[in-house]
Structure 1
């Protein structure tokens, strides 16, 4: 079973609860005990190999590992004939040319299963890649799939598409749906909503401070933006600068100002001012919340604000050791005194159950809407007993 690192221990816990006869082994550095490391003479690779051998020797063994380890230990994993291969958050192999995708498709087993909440994020070739793992050849080769399905469907979706292109796209989409239907089980939240309380989502438009407005206008009229508009500079770099300005202007000066006492002052960011007011209101009303940001740098500023307010909190991001992540999740879900959980969307937004919260705040939206969609669902899971409210912060008058 392959999954993101944050979910390794959660899967082991679920397997022990629902299938206690199976022996679940985690293949990851975080699962190597000090004794096992000593037995392997301090060599982590040898320790991992020993874990792998022990699992293979067990007729009821289940190996839990990450996508990165599928790539790193490809020779060892590809030499084993597995009974089943299960990919959780399987959209990780959506890029047909990625090393991890190629490794996963070479696993020796005919029994394959993918679980994902986002089978298509940007283009239809991602769906092809997932199906090529589960049922190689069912949708043809990638060039054939592109010519027969992806391109016609894409052309028919344009606003200036002809009637013929629209009809062709519809026929291709219908044919594709019929092809994949026998192998695709789609489970909507509506199918289990009898177990789930109500969820509402709102967008909070935040005004810019005077400093932000001045910095924003200055950059928009800068030479860098002129070069972007002329096609001589990448647009994403400019968009990232604007995102930093609206999140907090200090992010532009992080390398030189990070240790300044005034670094991250709330008065200089409209979003941060709104965040402080919202958290204060939720605290008095007895709610508990998840606070997501895209970057660790912005999370640093949010953490300083939360700590200054005296709130009890936990934090989990890419720097958090994998072995500590499940403990942090358990502490938040089990301790009502922990008011806020600070998370980066990429680490805390995939798969984990955070039903201890009934409020979710997305500080800054991701480029990929499906990433935000995953994060919004962390609290609205089976086991949640309270109504859930999700707020997304958007700075008014900006892109």
Structure 2
């Protein structure tokens, strides 16, 4: 109705979360009024909640694969949301096959468009024109998406808009007239970095924009997040296994892309969260969940009805001691920092604390990483000794291993050490490895029996890769964010895994790492609620006394057993 409210305002009112942007719904009205959905909206919401009942979409037809039942439901749900002109967030647990669901959706929508242009009755209401679908992915996943598209939908014509896959001259030509140059393609794959740097993607009205690992835009003020939100498209989908990584505020940027306006402005949403937290309003969390739930489809691997045959995953904490050299250097670093804290404040103090945290983590890994030396004597690191203990039985059973570290500088030393334990070399993947080579490394690890381990920096390979040949995962050092660790673990624990997966999380006793581990476990239990910002920020805001207590060395616990 011309003088009524918008669809999004209605959805907010129905959820009890007005977040009004125009003042048209006043507080006194909200106090005495109630909102219920009419027949049409009730039926729509029922279909969104139960995708199995959606008519007009036949998942899997024309796809070179057989979808699992929950994947077919996912395709129906995405298709239905698209026909309604709504964005969607596919937030299935990592490893459940979000990629193949999106590929099948593209096939469905292409067939629908072909049917419409050939004069037949179109399936659904939303028009998708002839422009390509745009997939925006991390650079490390370009090859994986191309491989999956070629495998499951070879009829689709795909262009890779990345300098690792095409020359600069080709991209320069596309930039001059992107709509014309890309008209013959069904799918264009590019990266968040290109979207941030190039302007030509803004000149195309895309059939649909799909963001993979969409947590990449969780920071609403970041340049790549702003660039992504400027894209023009008939449909928008975000894919993420972790819709909330650190805090509920992460939701705003995701939803401002896929359902613009649903959560109001960023200021309104932050004020809403602030008031909800201040008043400890559990009803506010419930209302927010009700508001976003129609736009999110999330299935978990822990649900036996989804994947009844997925093997078990067991997580163990490996407590490591410190060598005498590590302990001496640790206490000296704390002593030096304590003196510097007395004369530091503001930005300088924050920088000092962050630098200390990184250096302590490096020292817990190996004193030579901390000292920027190249020897890496295994006897000088409790973690290296523990890694040998963990890996020797893995070697005897001829099983495969993934080792994750957040430091690129640790990858080669770890690989050299493990080559001695396994008596054969493995593979290494970090940010300096060319994108074009990464797919071959994954293939070697998956297919070759003589490749026993894969050392990976989390930033380069912690998402998207399929490494189910591994039945063991080692987190050599820890991230603040449990979601990042879980994503890395799920390179092995995903669909296609036939063996039980054992996850080894290394922690140096009596050190900063042990307290980080405690924070991670506490944070994981709050992952679905309002979470504070990163652990680093929490430590920078501690008083000097609190900070020094947190990082202090408990010598009795920390020292290696003789």
Is contact 1:216-1:245 (8 Å) kept? yes
How big is the shift at 1:116? 0.5
Task: Tell me the CA shift for residue 55 of structure 1.
Answer: 6.3
Deviation at 1:186, TM superposition (A): 0.9
Secondary structure of 2:317's aligned partner: strand
Q: 2 CA distance for matches of 1:50 and 1:373?
A: 42
Partner of 2:105: none
Alpha carbons of structure 1 residues 277 and 109: separation in structure 2 relative to 1, 3 Å: same
Aligned with 2:416: secondary structure? helix
Equivalent residues of 1:311, 1:340 under 8 A apart: no
Question: Structure 1 unaligned runs (5+)?
Answer: 156-164
The equivalent of 1:159 in structure 2 is none
Please name the residue that 1:69 is paired with: 194
CA-CA distance at 1:62 after TM superposition: 0.1
2:412 aligns with 300
Distance 1:96 1:231 in 2: 31
Measure the CA separation in 2 of the matches of 1:379 and 1:348: 12
In the superposition, relative to structure 1, how do residues 18 and 43 fare at CA in structure 2: closer, same or farther (>3 Å)?
A: closer
SS at match of 1:290: strand
1:206 correspondence with 2:338: no
Paired residue secondary structure (1:353): coil
Q: Distance in 2 between matches of 1:344 and 1:229?
A: 35
Cα separation, 2, equivalents of 1:154 and 1:102: 27
In structure 2, what is the equivalent of residue 187 of structure 1? 299
Give the aligned partner of residue 283 of structure 1: 395
Measured in 2, the distance between the counterparts of 1:51 and 1:152 equals 48
Per-residue deviation, 1:229: 7.1
Counterpart for residue 56 of structure 1: 182
Structure 1 partner of 2:224 = 100
Q: Any conservation in 2 of the 1:346–1:371 contact (CA below 8 Å)?
A: no
Consecutive unaligned residues in structure 2, runs of 5 or more: 1-134, 513-562
Query: Is 2:415–2:427's contact at 8 Å kept on the other side of the alignment?
Result: no
- Higher alpha-carbon Rg: 2
Which range moves more in the overlay, 186-195 or 292-301?
A: 186-195
Q: How does 1:21-170 map to 2 (within 5 A)?
A: 21-32=155-166, 37=167, 43=169, 45-46=171-172, 49=175, 56-58=182-184, 61-73=186-198, 75-148=199-272, 150-155=273-278, 165-166=279-280, 168=281, 170=282
Aligned to 1:161: none
Deviation string for 1:248-294 (max 9, x for gaps)?
A: 1111221xx33xxxx11101000011112211221002210001111
Supply the distance in 1 between the matched residues of 2:235 and 2:222 (Cα, whole angstroms).
Answer: 22
* Partner SS state of residue 92, structure 1: helix
Deviation at 1:50, TM superposition (A): 8.8
SS in 1 for 2:269: helix
Aligned counterpart in structure 1 of residue 456 of structure 2, from 343, 359, 363 = 343
- Structure 1 residue 138: Cα displacement: 0.7
**CA–CA distance in structure 2, aligned partners of residues 175 and 301 of structure 1:** 50
Cα separation, 1, equivalents of 2:161 and 2:367: 42
* Contact 2:472–2:503, Cα closer than 8 Å, also in 1: yes
Q: Distance in 1 between matches of 2:381 and 2:249?
A: 40
Write the deviation string for residues 103-123 of structure 1: whole angstroms up to 9, x where unpaired: 111111131000011222222
Q: Please give the alpha-carbon distance, in whole angstroms, between the structure 2 residues aligned to 1:185 and 1:277.
A: 42
Distance 1:53 1:304, change over 3 A: farther
Count how many residue pairs are aligned between Structure 1 and Structure 2. Answer: 370
Q: Distance in 1 between matches of 2:427 and 2:178?
A: 33
Please list the CA deviations of residues 301-332 of structure 1 after superposition, one character each: whole Å capped at 9, or x if unmatched.
21221234432301111000000001100110
- Paired position in structure 1 for 2:441: 328
Query: How far 1:245 moved relative to its partner?
Result: 1.2
Report if the CA contact (8 A) 2:174-2:182 is conserved. no
In the alignment, the residues of structure 1 paired with residue 425 and residue 177 of structure 2 have an alpha-carbon distance, to the nearest angstrom, of 38
Distance in 1 separating the partners of 2:295 and 2:174: 34
Deviation at 1:51, TM superposition (A): 11
Shift of 1:373: 1.3
Mapped partners of 1:227, 1:313: distance in 2: 42
Task: Between 334-343 and 182-191, report the one with greater CA deviation.
Answer: 182-191
The answer to whether residue 385 in structure 2 is matched with residue 273 in structure 1 is: yes
3-state DSSP of counterpart to 1:375: helix
- Residue aligned with 2:136, SS: coil
Question: Aligned ranges for residues 233-248 of structure 1 at < 5 Å?
Answer: 233-234=349-350, 235-248=353-366
Within 2, Cα distance between the matches of 1:14 and 1:336? 23
